[in-house]
Amino acid sequence: MTKQTVWTLAELDHKGQLDPVSFEMTARAQNLDAEIHVLLFAPTGVSDETLVPLFHHGAHEVLLLENDAFTFFQADVWGRLFADVARKENMNVFLAPADTLGRTLLPYAAMLLHTGLTADCTALSLDSETGLLDQTRPAVGGDIMATIRCEAHRPQMATIRPRSTAVPAPDVTRTGKIRRCHVTLDGKALQTQLLSFTPAPAEIPLAAADKVVVVGRGIKRPENIPAVKEFADSIGAALGATREAVDRNWLPYSCQIGLSGRTIAPKLYIGLGVSGAIQHLIGMRTAETIVAVNKDPDAPIFKVADFGIAGDCMEVLPHLKSLLAKGGVK
């Protein structure tokens, strides 16, 4: 039986290298036992060598849409091109990361293609005969898991949260085909010009951090944030927050972890005054080691914690700091 074909979106970082989230998408397609085609928007001149890791991670073919203007993302231009390619290639399934690019490009393209889009999928399965994709994601505030099908329209499109997929070791013997397509854009198509680029401040990026200290409502007052930040810095951790903490403006939305925030999978998660609501757990339960400090011994977070401390988090904090300074965390 011939395999179903699944398309995935790859991304370049601002240095022109493949963003590792590209391999998470091919890993998802590998799990569907599909023939994998990868779509990449790139500035002209990206070398074959740059693309080879996509083959090592399961891709059969890479379709490269090239134009010098593709150094940065433009939703309308990329959306129209994507819709054209989806029609020409007769795409059945398209998977993209639920990051800024995927969350902006796919809704735009779905509208042009009159097809559906399931955002933030946690599980996917593909019927090898019918080519129908079952797309599962949390719904009703995370209380249920809904499985969604897009039976009548194509492509079936889904986004998947970054860092929610285990990437298998690369197979460096694999090769594949690169199709380069130089795109000509008329001047009117480009409505935005890149004038300058300012990288984000050099704070430890939450999504990539190995250690994360999370502020919950239980820290009580915003005046306690500096002490928590100092603690996080002392162990080289990034700061995260629950929605309760973000809604109180204690930390910015970019710190929010959970259903309506980011997904993280650090080696160490330390929750301070976090209750462990399902909507929060969705964004952190794949952390390797979970430490929770909560004054309520029955708080739900203790059900997922590897180490639980029942107590006042601001009182426990100095003890935790000196304990970890003695070499408790590598």
Ligand X SMILES: Cc1cc2nc3c(=O)[nH]c(=O)nc-3n(C[C@H](O)[C@H](O)[C@H](O)COP(=O)(O)OP(=O)(O)OC[C@H]3O[C@@H](n4cnc5c(N)ncnc54)[C@H](O)[C@@H]3O)c2cc1C
Q: What 3-state class would DSSP assign to 110? A: helix
Strands 133-139 and 123-126: antiparallel
Strand residue runs (E) in 127-257: 133-139, 144-148, 156-160, 177-182, 211-215, 238-241
* Residues paired with residue 75 on neighbouring β-strands, in sequence order: none
Closer to ligand X at the Cβ: 180 or 295? 295
Closest distance between ligand X and the C-beta of residue 314, in Å? 6
Neighbours of 100 (CB within 10 A): 10
Cβ(122)–Cβ(158) below 8 Å: no
Residues forming contacts to ligand X in the complex (CB under 6 A) are: 141, 216-218, 220, 242-245, 256-261, 273-275, 277, 279-280, 283, 293-296, 299, 312-313
Shortest distance (Å) from residue 108 CB to ligand X: 24
Nearest CB to ligand X, comparing residues 155 and 240: 240
* Nearest distance, CB of residue 272 and ligand X, angstroms: 7
Tokens coding 42? 């790139």
Would you say 6 or 215 has its CB closer to ligand X? 215
Q: In angstroms, what is the minimal distance from the CB of 315 to ligand X?
A: 8
Q: Give least dist CB 321 to ligand X, A.
A: 16
CB closer to ligand X out of 71 and 279:
279
Cα–Cα dist 11/20, whole Å: 8
Least CB distance to ligand X at residue 237 (A): 17
Query: Smaller CB distance to ligand X: residue 59 or 317?
Result: 317
Nearest distance from C-beta of residue 287 to ligand X, angstroms: 14
Nearer to ligand X, 156 or 256 (CB): 256
C-alpha distance across the termini of the chain, in Å: 49
Nearer to ligand X, 71 or 260 (CB): 260
Kindly tell me which of 54 and 292 has the beta carbon lying closer to ligand X: 292
Contact 7/39 with Cβ under 8 angstroms? Answer: yes
Q: How far is the CB of 136 from ligand X (least distance, A)?
A: 17
Whole-number Å distance between alpha carbons of 199 and 325 = 31
Give the CA angle between residues 187, 190, 191 to the nearest 5°. 115
The span from the CA of 90 to the CA of 92, in Å, is: 6
Q: How far is the CB of 258 from ligand X (least distance, A)?
A: 2
Nearer to ligand X, 213 or 259 (CB): 259
Cis before residue 300, ω within 30 degrees of 0?
A: no
Task: Using alpha carbons, select from 322, 265, 260, 316 the residue that is nearest to residue 290.
Answer: 265
Q: How far apart are CA 205 and CA 217, in angstroms?
A: 22
Strand 156-160 to 117-121 pairing:
parallel
- Report the 10 Å Cβ neighbour count for 192: 12
